[in-house]
Amino acid sequence: MNRIKILIATALLALSFGASAQYSQLGPKNEFMFKAEAGYAPFMGNYGKLGPNGYNLSHYESAANLNVMAGINISQDWFLGFGVGGNYYHSFKIKDAQSLIGANAFIDFDFRPIWKAVMGVDYQPTTIKWAPLMGARAGGSILMADQMLFTPMVEAYGGINWYYAHGLRNMGHNWHSFYATLGVAYMQQTFFLPIRVGWRW
């Protein structure tokens, strides 16, 4: 009888250690994260009220940009954070156009849905490499011209997200990824088509 009690106690103890170890691997559902990205935004068109010198960017300027963001990764699929970035505006069409520098400050939101469905039942896979990416950002844009020009900035984008260290879902290293996006942005009375690559860690 004592041997049976010892075996049961040992089995229960082993199960409790196993459950504790699995819980520790899952970790918290939210994590503070950074994003960094580089991109190029070709000129699409001007829109807005003309000033004394025309549009704020009136020479078909495109923009090269760098952005950094910090925020909260929520339950693997969501990110909400604050970002700042720098823009270098230049024109290929008008050779005499002066290059300009600008800066943005914005709220960034993205969603990486990785739920799958089998026979109508949703589940979360234990491993994943790729996920679609959708997001938006809104904030303000400053143009360093003769007079500093400030306008609102909005953007919507979509792309692909690659978990380069894919493993058990909700493990910290699984949240780290590279991504590429294509979007539409409006700032400084100009529509752009931003193309970006980034790193999330």
* Cβ–Cβ under 8 Å, residues 192 and 43: yes
Question: What is the tens place of the pLDDT at every residue in 143-199?
Answer: 998 888 999 999 999 999 988 876 545 454 567 899 999 999 999 999 999 999 999
Q: Which residues pair with 93 in a beta bridge?
A: none
Q: What is the pLDDT of residue 26?
A: 39
* Cβ–Cβ under 8 Å, residues 191 and 156: no
* Cβ–Cβ under 8 Å, residues 102 and 188: yes
Angle at 155 between CA 149 and CA 157, to 5 degrees: 150
- pLDDT bucket at 30, cuts 50 / 70 / 90: confident
- pTM equals 0.78
